[in-house]
Amino acid sequence: MRVFPPYPSGEKPTITPNQPLVVVSVIARKGGVGKSTVTINLATEAIKNGLKAGVLDLDPQATAETWADEREKSANVDSSQPVVRGSKPSRFEMAIAEADHSGYDILFIDTPANSTHAATDIVKHSDYILIPTTPGSFDIEAIKQTMRLANEQEKPAAVVLNKCRHNAPIQTRNAAKKITKDHHFPIAGEVICNRKAFDDANEKGLGVQEYAPRSKAAEEIAGLYNWLMIDLGLEAEHHAVLSA
């Protein structure tokens, strides 16, 4: 579901290999907003687009690592990609350096919730911040502190409306209006709906693109990924424009 114009019609951006590592951190102060699902699905979409992508799991709940354990049981995908590594927040700088040294194109960081100190350091070492939230008013209020951190460190950031009801477009549009008009925060051009395919794919250690490639869920993740690449400004310097 798109609330704002999508990426240009007919364009499918992708990072050109051998460019410096791009670090995208997915940060949410509040739990239950789908942070890990966004992280692992963006990573699998990056793999699909030919990148060497990794996930750094800093969340004590280790959701991404659990997903990776299930992925090793699957015979239908290359379980070695994306590489998912757990780390303590205090050691994440070393993990980023190792990913860069190992030739990764893009690294997605699944961050711990409710950790202001860790979030401050993570934002500092990121190229882009994604802030997932549900359409709920309490969840939207919780994004303020993360957005303030991004603004203070002059890091590009955007809110991702996630877990939206696919049959409640008015609620989604009202939430988008609250984010952009009331709070004046930038918002991702693709909305992610609360679809069963995400839960089913997570249980099997798959990205939704692998589990149900023709589903609305896969379409939304592809839209979010392509929007992110364009908003990073990589389509001009580090992207090859391919036909869709």
pLDDT at res. 3: 44
Mean of the per-residue pLDDT values of the chain = 87
Rounded Cα distance between 54 and 88, Å, is 16
pLDDT band at residue 29 using 50, 70 and 90 as cut-offs: confident
* 16-30 exposure pattern, b = at least 16 Cβ within 10 A, e = fewer: eeeeebbbbbbbbbb
Assess contact for 99 and 86: CB atoms under 8 A: no
pLDDT at 49 over 80: yes
pLDDT at res. 174: 95
Multiple choice CATH, 11-243, 3.90.420.10, 3.20.10.10, 3.40.50.460, 3.40.50.300? 3.40.50.300
pLDDT at res. 193: 97
Going from N- to C-terminal start, the domains of the chain cover 11-243
pLDDT at 131 over 90: yes
Q: Which range has the worst mean pLDDT, 13-17, 21-25, 51-55, 84-88?
A: 13-17
Assess contact for 239 and 16: CB atoms under 8 A: yes
Q: With pLDDT > 90 as the criterion, what percentage of the chain qualifies?
A: 75
Higher pLDDT, 75 or 60: 60
Query: 1: burial class by Cβ within 10 Å (0-12, 13-18, 19+)?
Result: middle
Q: With pLDDT > 70 as the criterion, what percentage of the chain qualifies?
A: 88
Three-state DSSP at 40 gives helix
- pLDDT one-digit tens code per residue, 99-118: 999 999 999 999 988 777 78
Q: Which residues make Cβ contacts (< 8 Å) with residue 91, sequence separation at least 6?
A: none
Rounded Cα distance between 227 and 54, Å, is 19
Strand order in the sheet with 53-57: 83-86, 53-57, 106-110, 22-26, 128-133, 157-161
pLDDT at res. 109: 97
Strands in 34-102 per DSSP E: 53-57, 83-86
Q: Which of 124, 98, 128, 122 is nearest to 225 (CA)?
A: 128
pLDDT band at residue 20 using 50, 70 and 90 as cut-offs: confident
